[in-house]
Chains A and B, each alone.
Chain A
């Protein structure tokens, strides 16, 4: 095995390493910046509803009512009515 071609290859490899790591780092650093900006923008202008939902609901139901507030109110109303009906029947 001649030494020079391997030396050339190693130089190519070093070059590739420099460029490659540079690109990977700059790509991910730009992504960091974009994510920070995105989170700030969402916090400022985004709807307040999804955050509240993720805090309160431990397991969001897929395909649930698109307006969770209204849906919850209706569900609560239904449950309350059922409890009332049950108590009235059993108290009598």
Chain B
């Protein structure tokens, strides 16, 4: 009898709390979104599974001595995983569109307005009872507006590790929702004529330019904003591996094996932060709301800057490409292409939108550098 009772007390059913049960359902929900709806499946699937694993009663997988807890300590607390992802992003990204038309960098800068507007929004939320965001919390939440998963995780692990789970889930969920969030804002802010503007073809970019670009970017970062050097450094290294053309094997590893392995581990480690006590709070709800706000503002600011550029250049720029200034590569550029095609079936904006799109990656990394330099946890 005694041993039967002991056995019962070691089962999951006897120890399951409502929080754990709810988080198991959240994990299943994320896996459902990944498989059935194809929402960022590469990340939401491991995150959802990580959430399930870390909420198994008694197992303590997400605790400091558990498997996921150790992966978290090694990869995310140190900031290594998001940086390795950036290496892969650099190796996967073709910056030619940006080199051919450098002025699109301004669009990438404008879209970062979403980050700083959300910072104010998070601080203003302190007026509502139940919320207590410090300046560093607010900065970590605001970076969701950069629409860049690895940057958000890197910054959150530096400034607000407690909020990391919610921030990462919000960032990746909204990146998956880009095709739903962005088009209404883009249509509301532009006229039919503006959406129909056809842009002239980009000039070809020489190999030497593509090799010099990452070096120039790194040099500028080293001189002006060393706080962003880890992010920009890995991005430019990955890109140099790609463009140099002499280390094909390394470039392929960065594009495939390294980024894939790290994505699995990163997803699991983030999932391990989705434990009931940390996630089921009013703060999480606030973060989810602020994240949507951040995305919308960033998109709007990008489009408005696109309109300004369109006026200044005498209607040579389609303002829609401003919306791609939020990073979310290459999803945002594809959305721009789709909205452009709705107006004019022969107007392919994809390559033109890639410029602001990759500028957004650089812009959000710079914004993260500023926040790291100025905000101390």
Task: Report the contact-size class of chain A (Cβ under 8 Å from the partner).
Answer: 35 or more
Given A10-B123, A54-B207, A63-B248, are A31 and B117 also a contact pair (CB < 8 Å)? Answer: no
List the A side residues contacting B138 at CB < 8 Å: 9, 13
Number of chain B residues close to chain A: CB under 8 A:
47
Alpha-carbon distance A29/B362, docked complex (angstroms): 12
The answer to whether A54 touches B206 (Cβ under 8 A) is yes
Provide the residues of chain A in CB contact with B103, threshold 8 Å.
Answer: 32
Q: Report the bound CA distance from A19 to B138 in whole Å.
A: 16
Q: Are A23 and B370 touching (Cβ within 8 A)?
A: yes
Asked if B129 is at the interface of the complex by the 8 Å CB criterion, the answer is yes
Q: Can you name 23 A-B residue pairings with CB atoms under 8 Å?
A: A1-B126, A3-B127, A6-B124, A10-B124, A12-B123, A13-B119, A13-B135, A19-B374, A20-B371, A20-B374, A24-B367, A25-B106, A27-B225, A28-B105, A28-B363, A29-B106, A31-B216, A32-B103, A42-B206, A42-B208, A51-B204, A62-B245, A62-B248
- A contact residues vs B (CB 8 Å cutoff): 1, 3, 6, 9-10, 12-14, 16-17, 19-21, 23-25, 27-32, 34-36, 38-39, 42, 46-47, 50-51, 53-55, 62-63
B205 within 8 A of A: yes
By DSSP majority rule, is chain B's interface helix, strand, loop, or mixed?
A: helix
Could you tell me the distance in whole angstroms from the C-beta of B221 to the nearest C-beta in chain A? 8
Query: Given A17, A28, A39, A47, which contacts B366 in the complex, CB threshold below 8 Å?
Result: A28
Over the window 196-232 of chain B, the binary record of Cβ atoms lying under 8 Å from chain A Cβ atoms (1 yes, 0 no) is 0000000011111100110011001000110000000
Give the contacts of B57-105 with A (CB-CB under 8 A): 98-99, 102-103, 105
